[in-house]
């Protein structure tokens, strides 16, 4: 199936190309991130950039194979801002209210559905958004969309455990993994990495009583005075590339899986 769309980005296509994608059952991917402080060393858009990169790489993989009859994907403009109230004490953070986020995703989903798409995958890049993306996906059913919500790191738990050992396979915040991604994606914007002593140790946090029970938002005042969860000093560009590439492989595999006939 030759879909004739030269770009994977929704907003770079023409209306006839969007119509062709909808008719072919293509899956829109919605990157969702945050604009928030990322320690003294990383740019504010680290999460949005990571989620967008995973979507772009997955869509490129899918589009290459779509010409052989498989499902294509198209990347919607990212939702730049997320739920980050706990980082407002640091300069630069822009946070949305939960109701704003739900309205935003609902309106985007309604528009996508109106143009004939039946699925949507929300690809999240910010830990603080994890609680709300499930609600957003549930609401999208109101528009006839079958939505899935995931965070890119949840696609590759084994790879993270094997390769991001300083942080125990966790995503953290501005720690080993996110520092690695920024070093891979935008090294010129990364300041000298903080020392290990300036980073909150995720292993110590995880070992605290009841740490694995339920959810509590980050509390910089008690947990992370420098705004860094995880070993930023262990960041390395090759790990960043590995994480994004493997997550994109898995996202592409997931979209192909969605295309299988229902049983």
236 vs 77: CA distance, rounded Å: 28
Tell me phi and psi for residue 198, to 5 degrees: -95, 5
Least distance to Zn ion from the beta carbon of 222, Å?
19
Contacts to Zn ion by CB under 5 A: 46-47, 178
Measured from the CB atom, the residue of 37 and 63 that comes closer to Zn ion is 37
147 vs 25: CA distance, rounded Å: 14
Measured from the CB atom, the residue of 159 and 178 that comes closer to Zn ion is 178
Least distance to Zn ion from the beta carbon of 138, Å?
25
169 vs 203: CA distance, rounded Å: 10
| Residue 7 buriedness (CB in 10 A; 0-12 / 13-18 / 19+) | middle
Measured from the CB atom, the residue of 46 and 180 that comes closer to Zn ion is 46
Measured from the CB atom, the residue of 29 and 34 that comes closer to Zn ion is 34
Please, what is the Cα angle at 67 between 109 and 11, to 5 degrees?
Answer: 35
Cβ-proximal residue to Zn ion, closest one: 47
Least distance to Zn ion from the beta carbon of 112, Å?
26
Least distance to Zn ion from the beta carbon of 126, Å?
6
Cα within 13 Å of Cα(108), Cβ side:
25
């Amino acid at each position: 199936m030759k879909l004739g769309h030269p770009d994977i980005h929704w907003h770079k296509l023409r209306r006839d190309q969007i119509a062709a994608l909808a008719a072919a059952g293509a899956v829109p991917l919605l990157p969702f991130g945050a604009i928030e402080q990322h320690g003294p060393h990383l740019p504010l858009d680290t999460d949005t950039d990571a989620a967008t990169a995973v979507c772009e790489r997955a869509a490129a993989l899918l589009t290459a194979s779509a010409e052989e009859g498989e499902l294509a994907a198209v990347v919607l403009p990212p939702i730049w801002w997320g739920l980050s109230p706990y980082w407002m004490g640091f300069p630069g953070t822009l946070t949305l209210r939960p109701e704003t986020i739900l309205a935003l995703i609902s309106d985007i989903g309604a528009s996508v559905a109106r143009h004939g798409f039946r699925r949507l995958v929300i690809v999240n890049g910010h830990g603080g958004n994890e609680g709300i993306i499930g609600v957003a996906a549930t609401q999208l059913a109101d528009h006839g969309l079958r939505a899935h919500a995931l965070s890119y790191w949840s696609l590759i738990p084994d790879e993270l455990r094997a390769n991001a050992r300083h942080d125990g396979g966790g995503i953290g915040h501005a720690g080993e993994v996110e520092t690695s991604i920024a070093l891979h994606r935008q090294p010129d914007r990364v300041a000298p990495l903080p020392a290990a002593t300036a980073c909150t140790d995720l292993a110590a946090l995880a070992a605290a009583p009841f740490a694995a029970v339920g959810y509590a938002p980050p509390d910089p005042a008690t947990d992370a005075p420098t705004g860094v969860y995880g070993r930023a000093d262990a960041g390395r560009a090759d790990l960043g590339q590995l994480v994004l590439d493997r997550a994109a492989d898995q996202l592409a595999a997931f979209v192909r899986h969605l295309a299988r006939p229902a049983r």
